[in-house]
Chains A and B, each alone.
Chain A
């Protein structure tokens, strides 16, 4: 939903907001270097001066084929032997986008797929999302916004290769064809590698004719990751593996309470550790002050950190505590909050008081750590007039602007080398650029001692678990009135949750009338239900962030378990009941097709389940893709037992069925984790109680259900799949378990006892 909201919003404010970060202290950076460009009718914003430099133009909208995001030379290189490298304008954290974008481009390029490999672009103008105007990996946007872009890049390059061959052979371009990395015609043949240098001298065609999808050879076929072998043999490099000449490694000692400050320190023992170079106070996120230990490697840095004796100053710092939070949130949920914008949330509740049946429910969702397997790491090479940063960032444009501000450099002196990520799930897209700025501050502190070296800041798992930026702790309260047929007559709903985006550069787009859209997304839609929705956004001293599928992590659970309960209480079949709430429009049709596919493939309602096993159904749309799960589950010895799981997905046209399947399975497992014992971040007296996988446990191979994934066939423009598989899994499981026990589950992680 992210992108639509951004585009439909006031673009001027993004300009201003991003100028704010970019120009804050880089006072001499030129306002002129931020140009606007027109993107297919909707406006986008280029936040980096690379755009202006590449174009050498002013604010006039460039013609098609001339925008930085349309320049083949910035995306494609073909070596003499035909090896074709296609640059990815996203960060890859396991979703396989580097392969998917290469497939899309190679299709129209008519490349030899066996000779294609992939690489990542930086944060600059060529590699921004063509709709967003910034390099951003999130919101399941990558395929949706770059599908046409990469097709055109391939088609333009193909046309330029043909034009170069036509010149060489003195033939008419129309007499030539290109296929499988070779241009041929008039009895002659030349490989792309032989033509590429000459092709780059050809002008970039303004318009190109794209293939009829019926003739696709690469797009739509199950395709292995281009880096599959690297990832199986240990040669794939991730952000944490970066090594630069003379590089040092740092770990940071952060205050146990968010925003705490270093009061006094005795670093003498730390400085005696062999390999420790410096122990320096550093400014941290949220006004905190901590200590960086800079050493020859991770282990001496860690030993040095362990040896520091210090005192913290928590004066004026609020100490969040789960017990108090729950009480506070419950109290808040008793009163109406800020009215959620949109007519769908402004129902008349007068029918509630006298409704024939009522359901009153409270749901509690904990803070959650992203727990990507690769801990955060960021390498900063800070020079007097340039800063090179190596990290797996989902928002390198925002990070580069923040680094410029923190260092006093101009944005074009900052270059972020986007690295492969060992998972991300939102944790690497931080509007405050927290971990990137922290690493920059470490580099600055070291430079202030008169020395310079590239420094890699590495988080330990404990650092990662305790650093904050969690999925917000969230409470829902629902009062529902319905009749004897299960028809909902009024639904009064309140959500209490910290806002993710208030105070961030994204506030202007996603916060409306004080209500953060990432809190309410997924409520009510697409069902026609008379709902009144209001929201409380308490301010709590715990940093929060989007976490794979964002608001839908809780809204889907609330909606899909409550509807299921009402269906059951009304003696309605849960599938039939949902179908009845769907409109006959295009959106309703997509949902019906999705649910129907899961019903057919699972054998729902036909297949006899083993005794003690029950069906659980749920469906949810997020990021414009619809996913349904039908789960077979029961309870044994107080623990859930999960049988076959069937998923169906409507993402419109599917680019790579192989990675789409893995995204849905992986999302389901991540959702399963949220239901499992102890999978929660809790705070006591301001301090996060969990630290590593023993107290923030994760599912193992023994927990993995058998998940069959089915895709609804469609030729409509593709949508994303990185997140939509997550929201409907947990409610489907909860619905099956409620049938098994008779008791609804309204708290995550599940408490079955």
Chain B
């Protein structure tokens, strides 16, 4: 049994310690907001925060998160910045299919928590690992800027 916190609540998972956090969240804890796409830390769809840092949950075994705090897309609105990012995502009509957007929102939130007013280069650096096949990148950038203004 491996124990950790998810969105401020205790969680315990009875699974092989090698199980990626992604599958513990999706299959054991029924939290499907975090998405599976590549399983190899190549696309960012599965991004969550580990003690505030963005990580790829598909490539992070649950053994590595024992006792730690995980924030997922379902809980990121508890944070002022996370809420501002989600609001900006809606106002800017970012999503198309939406499948990559949990990961985009989590990466964007982590960026704004580090850097209140990111430059385009800082947005590029923070978001280049989040793939979007639908091509929402222009609005991802716009929404990050809108959220930055909202939290300023």
A interface list, Cβ under 8 A from B? 92-96, 224-225, 227-238, 240-241, 243, 249, 274-275, 296-300, 303, 371-375, 420-425, 458, 460-461, 658, 662, 665-670, 692-694, 698-704, 706-707
Contact = CB atoms under 8 A, between A and B. Distances in A.
Contacts of B102: 234
Contact of A96 (B19, B96, B128, B135): B96
Given A233-B74, A299-B19, A670 B97 contact: no
Contact of B96 (A95, A241, A297, A300): A95
Given A421-B97, A692-B40, A701-B123, A233 B33 contact: yes
B74 A234 contact: yes
Contact of A423 (B90, B97, B105, B139): B97
Please classify the interface of chain A as helix (H, G, I), strand (E, B), loop, or mixed, using the class held by over half of its residues.
loop
Contacts of A458: 36
Contact of A234 (B20, B33, B38, B140): B33
A233 B23 contact: no
Closest 5 CB pairs of A and B: A234-B33, A422-B99, A94-B97, A231-B98, A669-B135
B79 interface: no
A225 B89 CA distance: 12
Contacts of B136: 662, 666
Nearest to A672: B135
Interface residues on B, range: 35 or more
Contacts of A224: 90, 93
19 contacts: A224-B93, A234-B32, A241-B32, A275-B15, A296-B27, A299-B20, A300-B15, A373-B45, A373-B131, A374-B37, A375-B36, A458-B36, A662-B136, A669-B135, A692-B38, A694-B42, A698-B131, A698-B133, A700-B131
Interface string B52-77: 00000000000000000000111001
Contacts of A375: 36-37
Contacts, number: 184
B134 A666 contact: yes
Contacts of A420: 97-98
Interface in B33-55: 33-40, 42-43, 45
B119 interface: no
Contacts of B30: 243
B100 interface: yes
A420 B90 CA distance: 18
Nearest to A300: B16
B97 A237 contact: no
B138 A707 contact: yes
Given A297-B28, A422-B98, A422-B99, A232 B105 contact: yes
Contacts of A96: 96
Given A299-B19, A693-B38, A665 B90 contact: no
A373 B37 contact: yes
B89 A232 contact: yes
A230 B30 CA distance: 17
B95 A693 contact: no
B141 interface: yes
Contacts of A225: 93, 95
A549 to B, nearest CB: 14
